[in-house]
Amino acid sequence: MRPFAYTRAADVAAAVAEVGSDPGSEYLAGGTTEVDMLRIGVARPRRVVDINDLPISGIEELPGGGVRLGGLARMSDAAAHPAVRGRFPVLAQALEKGASAQLRNMASMGGNLMQRVRCAYFRDGGAACNKRAPGSGCAALGGVDRGHAVLGTSEHCIATHPSDAAVALTALDATVHLRGRAGERSIALDDFFLLPGDTPEREHPIEHGELITAIEIPASEEARTSHYLKVRDRESYEFALASAAVALLVEDGRVARVRIGLGGVATKPWRARRAEAALAGAPAERASYERAAAEELAAAVPRRMNAFKIELARRTMVRALETTASLGARGGTG
């Protein structure tokens, strides 16, 4: 392992100042991705600043029914919180279908949004990767690309965003709160993730050292009837081949409100806005869902081994819509 310095930050301002002023410093939160990256030499910081002592791990209910998750709230705590389970079941389900119980106990919500891609070429220092080494090429193109994305790809990067929780959060219109050296600001979750385009090394529209202090989820009626469907090779401890986060309100047999996120198939947590538009006011029935799913996946680009994910994503979206519709007007997670 490459040598690096390790410090612990005592408060948010100090942490932001330390990392923000030094391009060679990185934050260490739960460490469930970062430590792997250090071990395999893909993360090469001069110093890691441990932020686990910072007082941003709480979970608060907001006036009006929303929820504010601290940037250091553990995935397991967020998934267990009664307000999350009752008002945003899709998020509780997505969290509990992510990683393993041990990892969820360590991993933070902010870290979940910042986690790096699982592309084997990104993690292999000997392979070409524009994300790790800009301009070196993309070994995934024509390589073993079974798990790679079909939506939002470019000729420079086709790595899939691995998060489940972020897929639910994008469907829930969450907001990311940041603290940087210039102060505080917030970014809509969908805007927090960048498409790879020709700069796949740039994953978020933030400055070096900006820290996620919280994630806010606004209340909505449809979020109460929401559902996360994750399709994967095995039943646990595995990333999605395709997933769908759906929040749906049906009135008089028609889709009154719907928000859809797709996971496992795109380079970012994918907000399925085309499908949402196609569903607006449509009869809440399979034919509408199929039409909407086809619309959303029309732009998908298949590669050597992952063409099946286009059809799988369509079906996953349709199944998730059907399941959510069947939940009725009020539902929740356990």
Contact residues: another protein, CB under 8 A: 1-3, 41, 118, 120, 125-126, 142-144, 146, 231, 233-238, 241, 304-305, 308, 311-312, 315-316, 319
Task: Check if the beta carbon of residue 277 is closer than 8 Å to that of residue 257.
Answer: no
CA distance linking residue 108 with residue 188, whole number of Å: 19
CA distance linking residue 134 with residue 138, whole number of Å: 10
CA distance linking residue 80 with residue 18, whole number of Å: 33
Output the smallest distance, CB 234 to another protein, in A. 5
Minimum CB distance to another protein smaller for 183 or for 334: 334
CA distance linking residue 112 with residue 165, whole number of Å: 7
CA distance linking residue 108 with residue 149, whole number of Å: 25
Minimum CB distance to another protein smaller for 175 or for 316: 316
Output the smallest distance, CB 229 to another protein, in A. 9
Find, among 228, 197, 193, 195, the residue nearest to 212 by Cα: 193
Amino acid code (one letter) for 211: L
Minimum CB distance to another protein smaller for 108 or for 316: 316
Minimum CB distance to another protein smaller for 138 or for 249: 138
What's the distance, CA 158 to chain centroid? Answer: 16
Q: Compute how many other C-beta atoms are within 10 angstroms of the C-beta atom of residue 284.
A: 22
Output the smallest distance, CB 230 to another protein, in A. 10
Token pair belonging to 190: 């969908």
Minimum CB distance to another protein smaller for 51 or for 129: 129
Output the smallest distance, CB 242 to another protein, in A. 8
Output the smallest distance, CB 31 to another protein, in A. 16
Q: Compute how many other C-beta atoms are within 10 angstroms of the C-beta atom of residue 189.
A: 24
Output the smallest distance, CB 203 to another protein, in A. 20
Minimum CB distance to another protein smaller for 215 or for 310: 310
Minimum CB distance to another protein smaller for 1 or for 298: 1
Output the smallest distance, CB 19 to another protein, in A. 23
Alpha helices in the chain (DSSP H): 12-20, 34-39, 75-80, 82-87, 89-96, 101-106, 109-114, 120-123, 165-171, 189-192, 221-224, 273-279, 286-297, 308-326
